[in-house]
Structure 1
């Protein structure tokens, strides 16, 4: 069972998704867990475990720094306590979305993403043309003391030409419908850390 404050937070995210297709929460994680995740990301980066992210999927995937410049590593359960705690919270969100919106979300995949200074990710959608399993995107930020002048905002392109910028502040979460919200990551003047993930439904495969 979730405590009342966590239950209210999850309900707010579900209500936002239903009403407008996206939600922004400034205090999704406690500071100590956010710091632990940031330290885990930096440790993996220092040990060479993060790799340049590709564009596309499968055999067509390629590294194109003119489109995106982040370095990533996928997260699996059982690798670290802080990652397992985060995955547990996201599974609670998955259940809340299913209960409220009946999306049939079956799992959650995510990776650390580190953007070196100057790196960016041009405008895109998170859902692949030939794979519609990704239903809801979720990005958690891990940057303490971030200032507006540091750049690195997530810019979402919403209905009627509206642009909304999200500051990548530690502990904040943005959630949006993967196939409906184009977005980009603006260049940052300092190292930028996040956990980027997707809630997925069952695909077309019979197994």
Structure 2
């Protein structure tokens, strides 16, 4: 779905429904339309009511002391507030990236990872199961087949980033971390959003921030696998999966799509609640 197609859908939903997010009830909505609502249609309805970025901004704190930030900078947090996403280079040593990429490839080839298209199929019946060919593994420090010093360094970096983000955004502290590998046969991940927008400080269900660390190789930059982001609303841009690049975005705000991958593409993603 392109940015223009999404805008058309949002306009249609705005015209067809008098929708209030606070009054939303899935059962009542199903009765109204006679069937389940695909995720992107529901998000379009919500965006037509209020831009999801404005909702997410209400979880930001008024002031941050730049001197207390360990890894991120004030400008990164400001970009996240203004645009909903920011990408940063140079936070992860390229030697660590190369070793983590090697381990990811080994885990994929050994069959230790699970095809993502088969995970929680019942929760998202509308998603095209042929649209992604990545395999995934949840990461837990010191556990499982993914125990490796390079991956531990990345987990350490993510902990620091989470603490820095917590100085600017009201987070509850929960985090999920996943290693993903695209095998490079043209698979992609269709446009989607990682969460619904939320401004409730006590909410523990919806993800608030997504952080992606790319474990790519310089030779992959011209063979697909970039991340297309659909922000601001009505536009789209592609962020290259540069080795070691850290992509941070508001989970309930930024629609994104992994473009077709023609070489192995690995990344570690963290979802912070």
Q: TM-score, normalised by structure 1?
A: 0.83
Corresponding residue for 1:76?
140
1:113 aligns with 2:176: no
Task: Please show how residues 17-166 of structure 1 align to structure 2 within 5 Å.
Answer: 17-54=80-117, 57=120, 59-60=122-123, 64-78=128-142, 79-101=147-169, 103-117=170-184, 118-127=186-195, 132-166=205-239
1:58 shift after superposition:
7.7
Partner residue of 2:247 out of 174, 180, 193: 174
Contact 1:119 1:188 (8 Å CA) reproduced? yes
* Runs of at least 5 residues in structure 2 that lack an aligned partner in the other structure: 1-66, 198-203
Structure 2 CA distance for aligned equivalents of residues 47 and 12 of structure 1: 41
Change (3 A) 1:18 1:61: closer
Q: Specify which structure has the higher proportion of strand.
A: 1
Change (3 A) 1:99 1:144: same
Structure 2 CA distance for aligned equivalents of residues 189 and 68 of structure 1: 13
1:97 shift after superposition:
1.0
Match of 1:92, SS? Answer: helix
Change (3 A) 1:47 1:10: farther
Change (3 A) 1:161 1:75: same
Structure 2 CA distance for aligned equivalents of residues 171 and 60 of structure 1: 32
Structure 2 CA distance for aligned equivalents of residues 8 and 40 of structure 1: 25
Structure 2 CA distance for aligned equivalents of residues 163 and 27 of structure 1: 25
1:42-74 Cα offsets, whole Å, 9 max, x none, are 121122111110377485367953232211111
Please identify the structure whose Cα radius of gyration is greater: 2
Contact 1:94 1:105 (8 Å CA) reproduced? no
Structure 2 CA distance for aligned equivalents of residues 81 and 105 of structure 1: 28
Contact 2:171 2:272 (8 Å CA) reproduced? no
Tell me how many residue pairs correspond in the alignment: 194
* Runs of at least 5 residues in structure 1 that lack an aligned partner in the other structure: 201-207
1:194 shift after superposition:
1.1
Q: TM-score, normalised by structure 2?
A: 0.64
1:117-155 Cα offsets, whole Å, 9 max, x none, are 2110000001169x8431101111111114553111100
Corresponding residue for 2:259?
186
1:142-194 Cα offsets, whole Å, 9 max, x none, are 11114553111100000242212111121001110001000101102211111
Match of 1:149, SS? Answer: coil
Q: Specify which structure has the higher proportion of helix.
A: 2
Structure 2 CA distance for aligned equivalents of residues 46 and 59 of structure 1: 27
